[in-house]
Amino acid sequence: MERLIIIGSGPAGLTAAIYAARANLAPLVFAGYQYGGQLMLTTEVENYPGFPNGIMGPELMETFRAQAERFGAKIENVDVVKVDFTKRSLRVWTDDREYQAESVIVATGASARWLGIPGEERLRGQGVSSCATCDGAFFRDRRIVVVGGGDSAMEEALFLTRFGSKVTVVHRRDALRASKIMAERAMNHSKIEFIWNAAVEEVKGEFKVESLVVRDLSSGTSFELEADAMFVAIGHDPNTAIFRDQLELDKQGYLVSRDGVRTAIEGVFVAGDVYDHRYRQAVTAAGMGCKASMEAEKYLEAREAERAMTLTG
Ligand code: NAP
């Protein structure tokens, strides 16, 4: 029986692990096969406090992990495939084992969203990507398209200017959602151009991306845009499939919590982007991981006190 299982290893899960490990709970963290969360897929993080010169996303996550391990967190790079929170103990399954726990922190985060258009899935890895850091370098001196108008799209577009001969941002409206500083950087960059009020409808190419069919949403007409790569940066979906029958989810699939820490099931806590679709920042996720861990600790203490009372009584 584990005292605390943490599912997820982004800033929320690993901060929870640091706090729980320092509280001597020896948490077991299921980090996932692709551990580290979304920051593993980003370049430079400029707004995480404590790093005035910025830090690369993957490097930041390695430091989180090392800090959690230093205090005794056990971290397994495997996925959780099923949970059962209907009984005590709480049960969690990986591919080959069942685990039982007194408490669980769910910090499974969110994953990149795709357009769902013809050619997109078939050409994933052949020019279609959601990760500029991972795949940008394959497109040196090539024509790159980024889809989206938020901070992620601007960040990807700016990063991709290192490689591409030109970076074209295709956005469905005529205004960006991105923060002012990111929008200005992208708009003022000589290599970045924008196609406004437009949607990519199809990715064309036999073995690799060759062009995109783009619809001008104002006129309704479509045109073909030559491109060697399409990076999709249109937001995220929460990773909650395994909790569907176990925990309350909202319409978009995010976990519901009354106070941003607890779920309706005793002993099950939430942290990070799996719950928070408003702020979605590494630093807010880390803060939530800290809160979830402290509440889990309190909960375990109360249970132990109750058990001791029953024994003495
Ligand atoms: P986001 O802010 O939700 O933006 C998603 C963008 O994709 C929007 O412009 C949206 O268009 C567009 N979009 C959504 N679905 C689409 C579809 N089916 N087809 C075409 N376009 C679609 O998501 P994000 O950029 O991933 O950012 C998420 C959060 O992380 C934000 O809070 C952001 O500030 C933060 N973030 C911060 C940084 C940074 O500070 N350096 C970097 C990355 C992310 P509409 O505008 O029309 O809705």
pLDDT of residue 42: 76
Q: What percent of the chain has pLDDT over 70?
A: 100
Q: Do 247 and 228 fall into the same domain?
A: no
Q: Is a pLDDT exceeding 90 seen at residue 79?
A: yes
Ligand 1 neighbourhood includes 186 CB (under 6 angstroms): no
pLDDT digits (tens, 9 = 90+) for 146-167: 999 999 999 999 999 999 999 9
Tell me: cis bond preceding 219? Omega within 30 of 0 counts. no
Question: Mean pLDDT score of the chain, rounded to an integer?
Answer: 96
pLDDT of residue 131: 87
Ligand 1 neighbourhood includes 166 CB (under 6 angstroms): no
CB neighbour list of residue 260: distance below 8 Å, 6 or more residues apart: 270, 275, 276, 288, 291
Q: Do 91 and 171 fall into the same domain?
A: no
Q: How confident is the model at residue 133 (pLDDT cuts 50, 70, 90)?
A: confident
Identify the residue whose C-alpha is closest to ligand 1 atom 41: 151
Are 100 and 5 in contact by the 8 Å Cβ rule? The answer is no
Instruction: Give the distance (Å) from ligand 1 centre to CA of residue 4.
Output: 33
pLDDT of residue 46: 86
Q: Is the dihedral of CA 12, 150, 247, 262 positive or negative?
A: positive
pLDDT of residue 41: 77
Q: Which domain holds residue 135?
A: 128-232
Can you tell me which atom of ligand 1 is nearest the CA of 149? 9
Among the candidates 214, 232, 250, a domain finishes at: 232
Q: Is a pLDDT exceeding 90 seen at residue 135?
A: no
Instruction: Give the distance (Å) from ligand 1 centre to CA of residue 151.
Output: 6
* Residue 131 appears among annotated catalytic residues: yes
The enclosing domain of 262 has a CATH number of 3.50.50.60
Q: Is a pLDDT exceeding 90 seen at residue 93?
A: yes
pLDDT digits (tens, 9 = 90+) for 183-237: 999 999 999 999 999 999 999 999 999 999 999 999 999 999 999 999 999 988 9
**Position 167 in a domain:** yes
Instruction: Give the distance (Å) from ligand 1 centre to CA of residue 22.
Output: 35
Tell me, yes or no, if the pTM score tops 0.75: yes
Pocket test for ligand 1, best of 42, 196, 280 (most atoms within 8 A of CB): 280
Q: How confident is the model at residue 175 (pLDDT cuts 50, 70, 90)?
A: very high
Ligand 1 neighbourhood includes 22 CB (under 6 angstroms): no
- Tokens describing residue 128: 């279609």
Instruction: Give the distance (Å) from ligand 1 centre to CA of residue 162.
Output: 22
Among the candidates 211, 232, 253, a domain finishes at: 232
Instruction: Work out the angle at residue 301's Cα, subtended by the Cα atoms of residues 61 and 2, and round it to the nearest 5 degrees.
Output: 55
Q: Do 11 and 106 fall into the same domain?
A: yes
pLDDT of residue 237: 93
Ligand 1 neighbourhood includes 117 CB (under 6 angstroms): no
Q: Do 226 and 243 fall into the same domain?
A: no
pLDDT of residue 311: 83
* Residue 290 appears among annotated catalytic residues: no
pLDDT of residue 188: 98
Q: Do 15 and 42 fall into the same domain?
A: yes
Mean pLDDT across 75-104: 97
pLDDT of residue 72: 97
Mean pLDDT across 277-306: 95
Query: Alpha carbon of 88 to those of 100, 104, 252, 268: distances in Å?
Result: 9, 12, 29, 11
> How many domains, in total, are found in the chain?
2
* Residue 134 appears among annotated catalytic residues: yes
Q: Which residue has the higher pLDDT, 139 or 133?
A: 139
**Position 119 in a domain:** no
